Each structure stands twice: as C-alpha cells, then as structure tokens.
Amino acid sequence: MNAPTPLSALAPAEGLLDTDPQETAEWRDAFLALVATEGPERARFVLDELARLARAQRVGWHPGLNTPYVNTVAVQDQGVFPGDLAVEERLASIMRWNALAMVVRANQAYGELGGHIASYASAADLFETGFNHFFHAREGLGAGQHRGDLVFFQPHSAPGVYARAFLEGRLSEQDLMHYRQEITAPAQGARGLSSYPHPWLMPDFWQFPTGSMGIGPISSIYHARFMRYLTHRGLLDCAGRKDTEGRTAMRRVWGVFGDGEMDEPESMSALTLAAREGLDNLVWVVNCNLQRLDGPVRGNGRIIDELERLFAGAGWNVVKLVWGSDWDGLFARDLTGALVRTLEGTVDGQMQTFAAKDGRFNRDNFFGQNPELAALAQGMTDEQIDRLKRGGHDLVKIHAAYAAASAHQGQPTVILAHTKKGYGMGQAGQGKMTTHSQKKLDDSDLIEFRNRFNLPLSDAQATGLAFYKPQEDSAEMQYLRRHRQQLGGYLPRRETVCDALPVPPIASYAQFALAADGKEMSTTMAFVRMLGTLLKDATLGPRIVPIVA
C-alpha cells in the first residue's frame, strides 16, 4: 500500500476559513486512523457515503479535480532508478549541445533559416528517459518478437532526435550541417533533415507527421485504438511479448506534446474516446514549459492544474511530474504546509520569472515571501537554489512517472511534466518570452552553455559550434548502444511491411456482372453481391470486416 501524503503537502481549500481548527484536526485524525486500520478501500467507501450525504443535504459540495501541486508519484513509491544517472545526464547534455549547434550553424549560414533551440532544451530529459528505458523498437515480425512502439515526437524538438541519431551513427555530421536544407544537401553528399517529423520527407526515419499542431495527439489516440482492434480481431498481436521476468511487454503508443498544443481542437477532440475504449496502451507526455510559440500558455493561471482537470474529467489517469529530487528535502521539512500553499498561489507567469532569474533573485522573491519559506532555504547557497530542478529535468523523477504510466491498467495516461523552456540557455533564453524564436547565440552564451553542461569542448570548439561525438569505446557510447539493443534497436525508424495478396480472378467475385446480360442492378445490390463473394475467398475473406450500419 502506498504511504499517505503528508498533511504538510495539503494546502487548505482556497477561499475557505477554518473556524474550528480543533474540530478539523479531529476529523483528520479520524480519517487517518481509518486509512491506517481499515485500508484505502474502506476509506474510499466512507468518502463516497459522505459525498452522497452532502448531496442529500444540499450542501452543494463535490470533490475537486485538482490534486496538490506536487508529484503524483511519492518519493517512497519511486523505486530504484535502473540506469547509470551520471552517464545518462552526460548523454542528455551532449544531445542538447549538438541540437543547439545544428540550429545555430544553419542560421549563421543562411540568415533566418529557422529551427528551434528552446523546445528541445526543455524536453531533452523527457526524450532521453524514453530512449534509454521505454521506447521499444521493432525486433521483427516473428513469433515472440516485439513489433515496436509507436512514438509521436513534439515537432519543434526534432533537432534533438537528429542529435541522438548522429551519436547512433544513423546520421553523419554532413547531414546535421544540412538541417532544413533538403534541396541542396544531395549535391554535398548529405541528406537534408526536415524541419519537423514527416515520413514523406524522410520515409525511412520518421514514423508519423506531427508538424501540424494537434494532428499528432489525435492520430496517436486512433493508432492506439486500432492496435487494440487488431489484437481483439486476432489480426495482429499488439499485446507484445513476455520479457525475461515473465511480464508482458505491451506495444504502446507514446506521444510527447507541448502544453500550448493542447489548445488545438484536434488535441482535445478524442480524449473521451481513449478513456471509453480503456486504451491503457496509450501514454501522453505533455511538456509543460509554460510557453507557446508567441507567449505564455496561461500567464495568470496554471496550465498543469487546468490540464489535470481536463484529462481527469475525460477519464484519463493523470500523473503530475512537477518537482525534481532536490525539492524532496524541502517538502519533508515543510511541516506547516507553507511551501505547498505558496506554490499553489503562484501562477505560471511568476514561475517564468523565477525560471529566467538566478538563485539570489529566487531566494529574495520566492523563499523570501514569509519566514517559514525563508527558514526552509536557510543553509542553501544561491547556486543550490538556482539548481532546483523542475520535475521534467530530473531523470529519476521522469523514470518513476513513466514506470507508473506503463504499469497503469484500464485507462490512458497523461504525464504533465513541468519544465523550463530554454533550459540551460541562461541569460540567452531560459524562461524568457523570446526564447522560442532564439536561433543564434553570442560566443559568451555558447561558452556559458558549454560550462553549464560540462561539455569537453575548448573555447574555439564551442564558439565554432563543433559537433561533439564521444569515442566509440567511451562509457557514453557503449551505454547508448546497449540500452537501445535491449529495446530492440534504434528509434525513430520507419519500416513498411506489406505482404502482397493474390488478386482473386474476376470470375470468382463478379460473375453477377459478367452474366447480367443487360439486366439493370442498383449499385448497392452489386456491391453487396461482390462483397458476399469476396468474403468467401480463402485468402482475402478473413481480411474483410463488413460493417452493417
């Protein structure tokens, strides 16, 4: 049984005054005793009874859809991180650098060629955790082989996926130097890399087009539903295979999307379908960096809270990934709940200001709001405060959230990951409203970025935007290859497998027309006769599913 959330993590109901704290404490103690002695099931029953009683007495109350502004997965439920944290952090840093270098190089050479630095800077750790531990590639089509996950990538983060493919040896340095230059690349012995994921432009690489906002989310739902349909019809095994511990490695549909993209009608239109169909093979990761293309997503509100209400109301399992491991000690020492109360009173516009400022500013303006917060930060240096991570930048917390989503049954899951747009870009763009359009960086900004992520590049290499690839026998390269091998190979990779079927002779399904001898027939009758005959064909028949409306 999961340990209960500490009372310090529960802020009082907004706008309500506790007129009898002693009575409130007695109610709380009674409920905690009920959970401890009778368990969660009995506690849920009692809460349901109280809710029914409140409705009967016309109290006008119903449970809120927002949970406390903390991580859904408690510290004690995280499990042991299965990877090498130091190596994975170095790999993420390398990906960030090569993605940045690719975009800045292209724009130095061609002016306003375009591309995005800040989006992948915020999403790198979300991607890397998936690549190292969860995104399964196709092993093959034989019995017992995993047929591969389907992954929908956030389009503006495409440079980071190219950066990983470069380390994997699937893209060359020349390819990276021709980002967004598909026409001129072949003459230079390179392949051009498309701006956004699209299989028409890179048919052996990208699985799905996601550049049109909202198309990726709705497509992922219908793909997950179709995979479930194929399994139920016995046409294709999408349930996966047994792993070494006897557990089923389900084929999943993963989608990494932006919080601004959730405002697109297509993103929201099929949420209830996914819940109604019980698509627990579907996991969305919403990168909540709080910024859209041209400004804040919800400057005077909190997008994570809004999305939690929306997805929970639609019937999804919601996993909030808000704070990194460095916050665990602060929450544990917050015996009065002051920290959670302050966080729940802080809107996204303020969060962006804190992201753009340094540790000294955050000490004075966040922790300095009251004596209780100031006491929590006492003993921390300004640099330690500056390094407090949001959940979407903490590999341990991300893995715990992904594992919880993978284990959940009966519902699709959305992970709401709190990040900083332009993470690591410092004064050049971290948390700033202009960061989405940032295409070029000064030499000082490049050196600061290199230092921030401890990259082994000289000043000349950093300012010259040299791509960095570790030696093949390095710990990083061996780790990357080993983990992708364990997950079936490299992703994204698009393979088209379509077995040719013999076409039945026309006489076998169109005899009614061949022998009509001038007799007229409605198109409906002709179609029904042809379909009925094709259903009897030994090869084609089992592949036809008639739908009677």
Domain residue extents for the chain: 7-63, 77-324+389-486, 506-543
Q: What is the mean pLDDT of residues 191-220?
A: 91
Cβ-in-10-Å burial (0-12, 13-18, 19+) of 121 comes to buried
* 14 CB neighbour count, 10 Å cutoff: 10
- What is the mean predicted confidence (pLDDT) over 525-543? 88
Q: pLDDT digit string (tens) for 431-460?
A: 555 555 555 688 988 999 899 899 999 999
pLDDT in tens, 380-394: 999 999 999 999 999
Can you give the pLDDT at residue 380?
94
With bands split at pLDDT 50, 70 and 90, how would you rate the model's confidence at 118?
A: confident
Supply 69's token pair. 């502004």
Residue 215 has pLDDT above 70, yes or no: yes
Highest mean pLDDT among 246-255, 352-361, 387-396, 506-515: 387-396
pLDDT of residue 247 exceeding 70: no
Report the DSSP pairing between strands 291-292 and 282-288.
Answer: unpaired
Where do runs of H (alpha helix) occur along 212-302? 215-232, 265-268, 271-276
pLDDT digits (tens, 9 = 90+) for 289-324: 998 877 788 889 999 999 999 999 999 999 999 999
pLDDT of 245 reads: 39
pLDDT tens sequence across 183-193? 787 878 888 89
Helix (H, G, I), strand (E, B) or coil at 293: coil
- In this prediction, residues 159-175 reach a mean pLDDT of 95
244: pLDDT strictly greater than 70: no
Six token digits for residue 508: 């076998």
DSSP single-letter state for residue 8: G
Task: Check pLDDT > 70 for residue 404.
Answer: yes
Ranking 188-192, 416-420, 431-435, 534-538 by mean pLDDT, the lowest is: 431-435
For residue 456, give both structure tokens: 């082994």
| Sequence-ordered list of residues with C-beta below 8 angstroms from that of 389, at least 6 positions apart, any chain | 323, 324, 325, 326, 327
Q: Which residue matches tokens 């393979």?
A: 495
Please determine, for residue 164, whether its predicted confidence score (pLDDT) is greater than 90.
yes
Decide: 359 and 381 in contact? Cβ < 8 Å: yes
Indicate the average pLDDT of the chain.
88
Pairing of strands 291-292, 295-296: antiparallel
243 pLDDT band (50/70/90 cuts)?
Answer: very low
**pLDDT tens digits, residue range 253-284?**
999 999 999 999 999 999 999 999 999 999 99
Contact 207, 219 (CB under 8 A): no
Distance CA 149, CA 300 (A): 37
CATH number, domain 77-324+389-486, options 1.10.3210.10, 3.50.30.60, 1.20.1440.230, 3.40.50.970: 3.40.50.970
